[in-house]
Amino acid sequence: MAGSETEEMSAEMEAVSRNIAEFSGNEVDHGLETSMKALSSSISKKMGIPLKLAEELNQLEIDVAKLSENVTGKKSHLKRVKHWLREDSDKDEPSSTEEINKNINNLEDMILKMQKITGVCFMDFQEETLKTEERFTQKHFDIKGECNGLEFGLEFDTEEIVMEDERSELEIKEFVANVPQDVCFELEKPLERIVNEQTIGGFFRLIMPYSKWESHRQKILNHFAEKYPDFVTIYTMETNRILVISHPNFKHGPVLMISWEFCTQSLDRVTPRIRLGVEGTKQLLDLDKAKALENAPENFELLVEEFGIERAVEAMINLIQMQS
């Protein structure tokens, strides 16, 4: 009887070996556990192990098998993730100096395009960590740049709090916007609103259209001052620019004054406001039977709407030049 049991156990051991041989890699462990489970059951019967103890051993083997299966699955998943990350890293990593230079050139082109579209160019960026705790960070920022030739500086603090659900809340404090003095005068109210609301985005929504118009205004005024130096004089006021047109040979002739200022109806809407004023002696105004001088401001506005600022200003200069 003993010889028969030994032969049966040998046969079962050979079956285990065949079962293991059919698997590879991580599958070997699973195949081995399955076969050993069957073998253990058979041996327990043949060795006279109590049924209750055998059941407990079987349950323990099942728990161990599940745990081993979970660990194996996690290892396999981690291996796939590492392989994917390695492939992605290899894909993004430049393979040569030529490719690195190409990436740098592409990045520089992208920055230049953004500067051309927005007009914003950052010249200096300073960041300082003031306080750090487990879920709280306070930083100070100092940014300098220019927008369409207009220099600016921004200073502000940020306070970031990480919530229990890992969401973060960021608050801006102590916001200061530094711009040239004449810009402060022209944009006093909207700048005051931006600082009170602590909104950095609002600053750029205001400064981008304003700087474009200011650059355009300066270009046109300088153009006429250089083209007609004997007839044109530019005066810079706190919130205004005035182009004065007069004839050098007729001191008692009419004087035309073109005022160019800006209206800020909202933070992202800056519009030019151009008006014509006329000065003349009482005798000159009395001689103006056709009311040409009196109606000049209204006619100038129509010229601006119909032909644009430059042609309207040019027409006023030609009008003064024609005096004899």
Distance CA 281, CA 277 (A): 14
Residue 84 in domain: no
Q: Which of 212, 230, 263 is the last residue of a domain?
A: 212
Residue 229 in domain: yes
pLDDT of residue 2: 47
| pTM score, whole prediction | 0.63
Tell whether 142 and 221 lie within a shared domain: no
Residue 56 in domain: no
Residue 200 in domain: yes
The parts of the chain modelled with pLDDT lower than 50 are 1-2, 5-6, 9, 16, 20-26, 28, 43, 46
Q: What is the layout of strands, in order, in the sheet containing 255-266?
A: 232-236, 241-245, 255-266, 269-279
Tell whether 127 and 225 lie within a shared domain: no
Tell whether 226 and 268 lie within a shared domain: yes
For tokens 């200069």, what's the residue?
A: 317
pLDDT of residue 103: 73
Tell whether 239 and 299 lie within a shared domain: yes
Tell whether 182 and 244 lie within a shared domain: no
Tell whether 174 and 227 lie within a shared domain: no
For residue 286, the tally of other CB atoms under 10 A from its CB is 9
Distance CA 41, CA 38 (A): 5
Dump pLDDT digits (tens) for 23-33.
Answer: 444 454 555 55
Q: Which of 194, 212, 230 is the last residue of a domain?
A: 212
Residue 94 in domain: no
pLDDT of residue 12: 52
Structure tokens at 55: 């059941």
Burial of 108 (0-12, 13-18, 19+ CB in 10 A): exposed
pLDDT of residue 259: 95
Amino acid at the residue 91: K
Q: Which of 183, 212, 241 is the last residue of a domain?
A: 212
Q: What is the CA radius of gyration of the chain?
A: 42
Tell whether 262 and 205 lie within a shared domain: no
By residue range, what is the domain housing residue 136?
A: 119-212
Residue 81 in domain: no
Dump pLDDT digits (tens) for 193-214.
Answer: 998 888 888 999 999 999 999 9
Tell whether 246 and 280 lie within a shared domain: yes
For 203, 276, 278, the CA distances from 116, given in Å and listed in that order, are 18, 33, 39
pLDDT of residue 21: 47
Q: What is the CATH number of the domain that holds 179?
A: 3.10.450
pLDDT of residue 285: 76
| Number of residues that this document lists for the chain | 324
Residue 260 in domain: yes
